[in-house]
């Protein structure tokens, strides 16, 4: 149940559920807990994209009251993100269009890419490499300031996102004379070039002690 992953499109921030934090919280929990293949729970068949649970269990999992969970589920149903079947002791919640959040679509895209590559087998290795580079250049999309800030936060970098984005916006997103292909790689290089060694408190104490000894010896 806890293996694998799902994908969430960035455009989710434009959806109504993103502006409803409790609903977004519960929806993401259900999305992660939904069956990725058909199974059985307590003798009940649970299909792909479904999660068998109870109101109390959901309340404990997400930290809301049982009545609060009930209200959130109703809103998710109104948002057309969730469907519900209720029974005496449990309920089955179904993620609408669950396949959009799984690897099925990604695998389909990978197959299309593979077929395209196979159709060009008459090209030599040099041309294939150039084609891949051209595709990456065409597909490159300059990051937003928010994307840069998030990546810096995740990596715990010290780079100023405003300086980074202003620099590359001013030169047309080029690395040297070439068009940028991977802004994250460029950011990693930027961080590496500009990183300053940071002394720990322990190192500072050692330096102070050495300086004190040095001064003492000079006084003699």
**Domains in the chain, number:** 2
| pLDDT at residue number 52 | 93
| pLDDT at residue number 211 | 72
| pLDDT at residue number 105 | 44
Q: Do β-strands 178-179 and 50-53 pair in parallel, antiparallel, or remain unpaired?
A: unpaired
pLDDT per 10-residue tile (average), the chain, 220 residues: 67 80 92 87 86 91 92 94 90 90 54 57 59 61 91 89 90 89 92 68 62 64
Q: Three-state DSSP class for 23?
A: helix
Q: Which two tokens stand for residue 9?
A: 């499109």
| pLDDT at residue number 24 | 92
- Would 3 be classed as within a structural domain? no
> Looking at 52, 77, 101, which one is the last position of a domain?
101
By residue range, what is the domain housing residue 186? 142-220
Taking the C-alpha atoms of residue 24 and residue 33, their distance in angstroms, rounded to an integer, is 14
Tell me, yes or no, whether 161 and 82 share the same domain: no
Tell me, yes or no, whether 158 and 92 share the same domain: no
Tell me, yes or no, whether 66 and 148 share the same domain: no
DSSP 89: S
> Looking at 45, 77, 101, which one is the last position of a domain?
101
Residue 36 belongs to a domain with what CATH number?
Answer: 1.10.10.10
Among all chains, which residue has been given the structure tokens 């004379």?
177
| pLDDT at residue number 205 | 61
> Looking at 48, 68, 101, which one is the last position of a domain?
101
């Amino acid at each position: 149940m806890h293996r694998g992953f799902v994908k969430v499109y960035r455009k989710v921030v434009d959806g109504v559920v993103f502006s409803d934090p409790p609903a977004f919280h519960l929806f993401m929990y259900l999305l992660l807990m939904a069956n990725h293949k058909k199974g059985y729970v307590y003798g009940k068949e649970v299909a792909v994209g479904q999660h068998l649970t109870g109101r109390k269990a959901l309340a404990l999992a997400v930290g809301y009251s049982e009545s609060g969970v009930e209200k959130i589920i109703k809103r998710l149903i109104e948002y057309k993100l969730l469907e519900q079947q209720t029974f005496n002791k449990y309920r089955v919640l179904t993620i609408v269009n669950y396949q959009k959040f799984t690897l099925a679509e990604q695998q389909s895209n990978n197959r299309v890419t593979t077929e395209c590559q196979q159709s060009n087998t008459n090209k030599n290795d040099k041309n294939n490499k150039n084609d891949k580079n051209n595709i990456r250049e065409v597909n490159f999309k300059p990051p937003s300031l928010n994307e840069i800030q998030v990546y810096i936060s995740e990596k715990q970098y010290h780079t100023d996102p405003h300086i980074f984005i202003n620099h590359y916006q001013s030169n047309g997103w080029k690395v040297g004379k070439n068009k940028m292909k991977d802004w994250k790689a460029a950011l990693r290089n930027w961080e590496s070039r500009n990183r300053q060694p940071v002394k720990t408190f322990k190192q500072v104490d050692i330096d102070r002690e050495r300086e004190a000894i040095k001064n003492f010896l000079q006084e003699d």
